[in-house]
Amino acid sequence: MNTAAENNPARIIKLAIMAVGGQGGGVLTNWITDLAQRSGYMSQATSVAGVAQRTGATIYYIEMTPQSVRQPVFSLMPAAGDVDILIAAEMMEAGRGILRGFVTPHRTTLIASSHRMLAVSEKTHPGDGIAYNDKVIEAAAKAAQRVIAFDMEKIAADAGTVISASLFGALAGSTALPFALENYEETIRASGRGVDASLAAFREACNRATNQNINDAPEDEHTQPITQDVARGPDKLLHRWQTLQDRISNLPEPVRDMAYSGLKKVVDFQDTNYGTEYLDHLIHVVHIDESNGGHDRQYLLSVAAAKYIANAMAYDDVIRVADLKTRVGRFSRVANEVGVNDQQVLRITEFMHPRADEICGMLPVGLGRFIESHPRLFRGLDRLVNRGRRVRTDSMFWYLVLHTLGGMRRFRRKLLRHDIERAHLESWLETSLSCVSSNYELAVELINNRRLIKGYSDTHTRSLSKFDRVMSARTLIESADDAAGKMKQLRDAALADEHGNELDQFIDKYAKDIK
């Protein structure tokens, strides 16, 4: 330690709070300064309030030292390498604290809630833009003297309060501050609002923190045990289901899990015969896979096909949506999510916006095609149906409407949408499989491209256009080195932005390369 500190044992405890605007960092700051005062410490708190607080990253800073005759000179902002306790109200904010140098080995106690509040950039990404916690948790373990991390948001929410209470509890449990537990609780009581809920969250978090040993690895994201239950239904259907399952057990081992998930999805979507169709498609791929060295490649092609054939077959049409919205268990799921009890009444409103396209998709192939090929007729139909509809699925009338639409499952194979989807599936599979013998990895990537197709209406159309662009770029890269890698790159680019601008740049680049 430096000489000044040796000559003068008085030391300042430095505590920084990294939070997201609106999380209640100000409340926590007030509690801590109040706690310090109760415990015979002088303290100073600062923050940067204002517009920066609106949902953005914010920081609060507190310095404390035992009461003395002389007034210490407190600093107004944390400095890198000079923070004793860092409280992060969200995991990425802990990461930001580490990045800013506020977490130092042999010194800093890092108290972090392991939950995530996603930043806008993580949410708007058309693919999966969520940043992974594990790197931050790893860095925290190295950067801090001690890490106390668990889901403090959940503890707070369960107690019906906000995260400041559980963060305060974790701080108490960490014993990083030389203050008595009674003073913490007294501070909460003195604040006078929602005291019981705050105390409950405080105590729960305090216990959790106490039990988390020094440098205990923060808990992993909750892994749910896979519960193997059974299918239910009429005997005849259960028998068919068993037959389908038996076919899966004949598949190569690496393919079975995915095939089972896929089978479940398509049967749930349509019926057991549809499951048979699915397995026929899949087994066709498995044969091709086997004859092209699939065994040595862990049947990558078949696994990809098991996944994406199922997704392609269980397309998102009106019937599926109506079916899902009217099923047994859906009401209780919603009730559960919003927390409705027996003394309350729940109403559910759905937001639907059908267009002529969707209506034609629900018509028999011939009729649907006829309307689509007559623009005036099509426009007329569109004028008739194309508007937002707020549908009350808890009401008798609208429930019956959706129930009936869901019941159209029986005719689905004869409808236009099914015809379109089936053709699309076949052409995609054929294209993808055509290059298995020449480039196995590329074939896998072509199968994987099916990931690009998602959304409804315009979003769906846009995703189809991206899919087409990526698929047709095959000819540009086929003969290049690492064609599979390039194909994956194209797909990632397609997922990077809404309109596929990055994708177009890559395509242009590859087109130039080929010249």
Q: Are 169 and 209 in contact (CB under 8 A)?
A: yes
Cα separation values, 269 from 92, 163, 199, 386, 406, Å: 38, 41, 48, 26, 10
Q: Is 25 in the site for other proteins (CB under 8 A)?
A: no
Of 5-13, 164-172, 371-379, 433-441, the window that binds other proteins (rule: CB under 8 A) is 5-13
Chain-centroid distance of CA 324 in Å reads: 21
Q: Closer to other proteins by CB, 350 or 504: give it.
A: 350
Q: What is the dihedral of CA 238, 239, 242, 246, to 10 degrees?
A: -170
34/372 Cα distance (integer angstroms) = 71
Task: Please say which residue, 62 or 476, places its beta carbon nearer to other proteins.
Answer: 62
Site string for other proteins, 436-455 (x = CB under 8 A): ---------------x--xx
Q: Which of 40, 105, 178, 364 binds other proteins (CB under 8 A)?
A: 105
| Stretch of residues binding other proteins (CB under 8 A), selected from 170-178, 204-212, 285-293, 328-336 | 328-336
With CB under 8 A as the contact rule, which of the stretches 42-50, 207-215, 282-290, 364-372 interacts with other proteins? 42-50
Q: Are 77 and 61 in contact (CB under 8 A)?
A: yes
SS3 call for 16? strand
Q: Which of 246, 296, 328, 373 binds other proteins (CB under 8 A)?
A: 328
Return the residue of 16, 25, 39, 53 that touches other proteins, per CB under 8 A. 53
Choose among 290, 318, 258, 234: nearest CA to 436: 290
What's the gap between Cα 492 and its chain centre?
17
- C-alpha span between 171 and 173 (Å, rounded): 5
Residue reference for tokens 């929410």: 157
Residues between 123 and 142 that touch other proteins (CB under 8 A): 123-128, 130-132, 135-136, 138-139, 142
Residues between 358 and 417 with contacts to other proteins, criterion CB under 8 A: 388, 390, 393-396, 399-400, 403, 406-407
Residue 83 CB, shortest distance to other proteins, in Å, is: 10
Smallest distance from other proteins to CB 224, Å: 6
> What tokens appear for 3 in the block?
């000489």
The residues in 462-491 that bind other proteins, with binding defined as CB under 8 A, are: 463
Q: Which residues of 399-433 are buried (b: 16+ CB within 10 A; e: fewer)?
A: bebbeebbeebeebeebbbbbbbeebbeebbebbb
Instruction: Select 64 or 371, whichever has its Cβ closest to other proteins.
Output: 64
Among 352, 365, 408, 496, binds other proteins (CB under 8 A): 352
The least distance separating other proteins from the CB of residue 17, rounded to whole angstroms, comes to 14
Please state, in angstroms and rounded to a whole number, the distance separating the CA atoms of residues 445 and 485: 8
> Which residue in the set 288, 321, 385, 496 belongs to the binding site for other proteins (CB under 8 A)?
321
With CB under 8 A as the contact rule, the residue among 38, 157, 365, 420 that binds other proteins is: 157
As measured in angstroms, the least distance from the Cβ of 210 to other proteins is 27
Amino acid at residue number 44: Q
C-alpha 326/C-alpha 392 separation (Å) is: 11
Q: Tokens 């549809």 sit at which residue?
A: 274
By rule CB under 8 A, what count of residues binds other proteins? 149
CA quadruple 235, 237, 240, 244: dihedral sign: negative
Q: Are strands 85-88 and 109-113 parallel, antiparallel or unpaired?
A: parallel
Q: How far is the CB of 98 from other proteins (least distance, A)?
A: 6
Q: Is residue 337 within the footprint of other proteins (CB under 8 A)?
A: yes
In the complex with other proteins, the residue whose CB is nearer, 233 or 380, is: 233
Stretch 73-102 residues interacting with other proteins (CB under 8 A): 73-82, 92-93, 95-96, 98-99, 101
Give the residue with the Cβ less far from other proteins, 143 or 473. Answer: 143
In angstroms, give the least distance from the CB of 435 to other proteins: 22
- Write the single-letter amino acid at 198: S
Contact 14, 78 (CB under 8 A): yes
For residue 450, give the H/E element and its range. Answer: none
Query: Which tokens in the block code for residue 485?
Result: 């890698």
The footprint of other proteins on residues 221-240 (CB under 8 A) is 224, 227, 229-234, 237-238
Rounded Cα–Cα distance for residues 171 and 139 (Å): 21
Cβ nearer to other proteins, comparing 224 with 373: 224
Closest distance between other proteins and the C-beta of residue 285, in Å? 16
Min CB(201)–other proteins separation in Å: 15
Among 16, 17, 20, 381, binds other proteins (CB under 8 A): 20
